[in-house]
Structure 1
Amino acid sequence: MTMKGLYNSFMYAARAHAKWEIETSFNIIKNRKQLLILFIMALPLLIPAMAHAADFIGGKSAFGPSFFSPTTFYGSIAVGVVAGLITGCIGAGGGFVITPALMSLGVKGILAVGTDMFHIFAKAIMGTTLHKKMGNVHAGLAIAFLIGSGLGVTGGGMINRALFNYNPVMSDLLISSVYVILLGFLGFFALSEYIGMRKKSPKGGDAHGGPDEMTALGAKLQSINLAPMIKFDEHVVPGGRRISGIFVAICGSVTGFLASILGVGGGFVTFPMFVYGLGISTGTTVGTDILQIIFTAGYGSIAQYAIYGYVFYTLAMGMLLGSLFGIQVGAITTKVVPGTQIKAFYALAILAGFVNRLFALPEKLAQMNYITLVPSTAAIITKIGVWLFFGLVSIFAFWIIGTFIANIPKLRAESGYDVEDTKGGVSQ
């Protein structure tokens, strides 16, 4: 598979996850029971005494203490808003910026990872629309994948905790380095895609879909008869296809490991491995991916981070509240924002995270004595990365919110028109 194909598969997975997250957020907002649950979960933010009682699953007195201040908490809400705006407006993964943003606010890397995973899980259990996807979830593939994912999440969590206990700086260095590679890859390809869109109109077809035919690697792996064999995709090809559960579990372990290291759902690697590597249809892949995200985030955040004190509960709730608002505004604003501008801001948001973690590396490397650098110089480089990051994402956020406010009359008119159409039986 080419680098462009790998990028497209990442983006397809990000869009599938974003679609589920948007549905989940709207489900929470529209359901009074879910809003009541959200209010109860947010009580530690509203009642200071309860905030201190929440320290047993994170907070400023956790086993992995992180500097806490009102700025950090309000910053977590802002981070949630920005991530929600990216998800809602762009329809792609805004979660990539959460861990780098929290680390920039002074939260240690391992706490940022655990908190991000807990925030994903909290949103999932409150407003999950998984039942809508269950028709695409294959039980055999899901079981094999989740077994592997559980092993991967456990391994990633153990490594993160071991590194943090050995040297917190080494833990931050590992997390930052992986983010530099991932965000650099996604950001520069997103930027090149935007430039390509400006030069010429895209031709027909979905550039972010999977391959029309099974890849050579997928055909090769499916030809290997290694028990247990799983039959799937009967709705795609007559007689279905077969793949060894061992290969599926291996894919699950890779996904779980990366998710546990980075603090994300892990869906961005599930799609390329399933579709390009194992030859599984995109529909089956998306359904299974949504299921694994809930499991991975839940098991990882609780069993690998929360019980060890590496979940910052108050920040997780701040991000949840912020993201619900951001997703609503972002999703509505797409009706009045040109697609090319959305592409541009997505590329900038991802590259902002890349620059942020890249500029943090010199200070981490100097603290580990891998390079020689004056502490004051290293601190200045880190601060430049922080200011560049928050400056770029703030421009994006203010632009989207400003566009939304400026177009409220137009959006209201369109909403009223849609309602009339629905009453008349035009809309489905």
Structure 2
Amino acid sequence: MRGIFNALMSASRAHAKWELEMSNNIVRNRKHLLILAVMMLPLIIPAIGHAADLPAFIGGKSAYGPSHYNPVMFYGSMAVGVCAGLITGCIGAGGGFVITPALMSLGVKGILAVGTDQFHIFAKAIMGTVIHKKLGNVNVALAIAFLVGSGIGVTAGGTLNRALFNANPVMSDFMISSVYVVMLGFLGFYSMYDFLKSRGDKNQSQDVHGGPAGLTPLAVKLQKINLAPMVTFDEDITPGGRKISGWFVAACGAVVGFAAAIMGVGGGFLTFPMFVYGLGVSSFTTVGTDILQIIFTAGYSSIAQYAIYGYIFYTLAMGMLVGSLLGIQIGAATTKVVSGMYIRAFYAIAILAGFVNRLFALPEKMAQMGYISMEASTGKLLADIGAWIFFGLVIVFAGWIIISFIKGIPILRAESDKGAVTAGGKGVSH
């Protein structure tokens, strides 16, 4: 159990590091900022409260009839993006888990929240990722096998999501909420337990990237199975490299793609434990492959499985993108001026907030489907309580980060000035 949790946390940290890099690549590049400004132009109308007048293909109600749209959702999406970015930047772990639950609490149908989150991930990845810097980490054969499986998984997940929504929109929301309850419940409770039990304890059995020091028994068994086609990897790390059947790699890709299409996340939280603990791939190779799969998975899922069917809010996706770029910069800067002792606890609280949000939404959905007997007002009250708890905890956390950042501005300036002087001195000595 602890190994699984450590793997999930390692994957989350690796994804957060990549998100910070993407954010820096966007905000520090004038061309990328210009592209972002052009992408934001269609948001001028919804920002002033006339979203219904937009053409159907960029957010009008005729294209997104399954969900009511109003300006509060747009401003809320920016706030959600800021909070997710703050969590990612400050904690060093992915804050994407809170996005879909937050959008659903704002009144967005589950399938649209999933599709919109996928599109937001894809847009940020395409704009911010410097591919050529990461290709050295990617084993081509490993990546191809994984992406074949990922494509199958995404297609299955997207098809299931659409079929459920077309059959019963309430069932669709219930299914998505249930998946989040299970996933966030496991991550949240175990991360809080792990924090309380082992504060200050560092697991020495892991390598510098968070993976196991050696192959797990499962990885040893799978690598002994000679099932063509065989994929060779990690030649630079292990003499002669290691081999694994491409079928196992494709199976992992299918699971990741299916989960990503169902939940609206990048899928990295599953790629890392599957590759490192299940297949025996080094964390170095895993990180590079994961970045490549996120771009492909999120792109294929958001466009082929959701956008062409009208299940994406372009306006909300852009709002989240801008908000997350701001939030992750502030969050990352805050880590330089505050103690990191309770960072893991804050992560657990943020994840548990999402868990409570979706858990409290389930009774209303079950009553609407006739599974339980409950007054409509009672179900709505429970859902509202879950939403208030969720947004309350996230806002308190976000407020703490922002206040810490503002208080630490003099320290950050002093560090910046010191760095500039040091760089200048080196230039003179040269």
TM range (shorter): over 0.9
Q: 2:141, 2:425 → 1: CA distance?
A: 44
Aligned equivalent of 1:16: 14
Contact kept in structure 1, 2:51 and 2:70, CA below 8 Å: no
**Aligned: 1:31 with 2:32:** no
Query: How big is the shift at 1:205?
Result: 6.3
Aligned equivalent of 1:274: 275
Q: 1:317, 1:176 → 2: CA distance?
A: 24
Aligned equivalent of 2:168: 167
Where does 1:302-341 land on structure 2 (aligned, <5 Å)? 302-341=303-342
Relative to structure 2, which stretch is displaced further, 387-396 or 361-370? Answer: 361-370
Q: Which amino acid aligns with 1:202?
A: K
**Aligned: 1:202 with 2:202:** yes
Query: How big is the shift at 1:193?
Result: 2.6
**Aligned: 1:123 with 2:121:** no
Q: Which amino acid aligns with 1:337?
A: V
Relative to structure 2, which stretch is displaced further, 385-394 or 131-140? Answer: 131-140
Q: Gaps (5+ residues) in structure 2? A: none
Aligned equivalent of 1:264: 265
Query: How big is the shift at 1:130?
Result: 2.7
Contact kept in structure 1, 2:173 and 2:365, CA below 8 Å: yes
Question: Cα deviations across residues 81-120 of structure 1 (Å, max 9, x unaligned)?
Answer: 0000011111111000000000000000000000000000
Where does 1:149-298 land on structure 2 (aligned, <5 Å)? 149-198=150-199, 200-202=200-202, 204=204, 206=206, 209-298=210-299
TM-score (norm 1): 0.95
Aligned equivalent of 2:94: 93
Q: Which amino acid aligns with 2:36?
A: L
Question: Cα deviations across residues 31-56 of structure 1 (Å, max 9, x unaligned)?
Answer: 00000000000001124589854532
Provide runs of 4+ in structure 1 moved above 6 Å. none
**Aligned: 1:134 with 2:135:** yes
Cα distance change, pair 414–346 in 1 and its aligned pair in 2 (3 A) = same
Query: How big is the shift at 1:337?
Result: 1.5
Q: Which amino acid aligns with 1:218?
A: A
Relative to structure 2, which stretch is displaced further, 51-60 or 243-252? Answer: 51-60
Q: 1:54, 1:419 → 2: CA distance?
A: 49
Q: Gaps (5+ residues) in structure 1? A: none
Q: 1:69, 1:303 → 2: CA distance?
A: 26
Q: 2:244, 2:86 → 1: CA distance?
A: 39
Q: Secondary structure at the match of 1:84?
A: helix
Q: 1:402, 1:63 → 2: CA distance?
A: 38
Q: 1:129, 1:271 → 2: CA distance?
A: 20
**Aligned: 1:410 with 2:408:** no
Aligned equivalent of 1:353: 354
Match of 1:41 among 16, 39, 42: 39
Q: Secondary structure at the match of 1:42?
A: helix
**Aligned: 1:393 with 2:394:** yes
Contact kept in structure 1, 2:51 and 2:59, CA below 8 Å: no
Question: Cα deviations across residues 377-415 of structure 1 (Å, max 9, x unaligned)?
Answer: 111111100000000000011110011111111111111
Percent identity, aligned pairs only, is 69
Q: Secondary structure at the match of 1:34?
A: helix
Q: Which amino acid aligns with 2:143?
A: A
CA RMSD of aligned residues (A): 1.7
Q: 2:84, 2:377 → 1: CA distance?
A: 31
Q: Secondary structure at the match of 1:339?
A: coil
Q: 2:384, 2:219 → 1: CA distance?
A: 46
Q: Which amino acid aligns with 1:79?
A: V
Cα distance change, pair 51–69 in 1 and its aligned pair in 2 (3 A) = closer
Contact kept in structure 1, 2:157 and 2:258, CA below 8 Å: yes
Q: How many residues align?
A: 423
Relative to structure 2, which stretch is displaced further, 348-357 or 186-195? Answer: 186-195
Cα distance change, pair 236–212 in 1 and its aligned pair in 2 (3 A) = same
